[in-house]
Amino acid sequence: MAGLAWIDPVASLFIVGAILVSTWGLLRDSVNLALDARAAGIDPVLVREYLQNLPGSPTFTICTSGA
């Protein structure tokens, strides 16, 4: 099969592309969480109020600056 050695690398690149496209959202969210960003849809004010209203909850401060 001389001359067909290029098929394997090209197929591998297509597979890599499909994996990247299908997992892009997960990768983006993972990087955000690794960089200490809050998850989308989480309201830090509601979280603070919920935690402060738990019985026996100590007083603490949650930083709400930034996104």
- In sign, the C-alpha dihedral spanning 21, 25, 26, 32 is positive
* Residue 19, pLDDT score: 94
pLDDT in tens, 14-58: 999 999 999 999 988 888 888 877 777 888 888 888 888 888 877
The pLDDT score that the predictor gives to residue 47 is: 85
Residue 61 confidence class, pLDDT cut points 50, 70, 90: low
Separation of alpha carbons 31 and 25, rounded Å: 10
* Terminal Cα distance for the chain, rounded: 56
Give the CA count within 13 Å in the CB-facing half-sphere of 6: 1
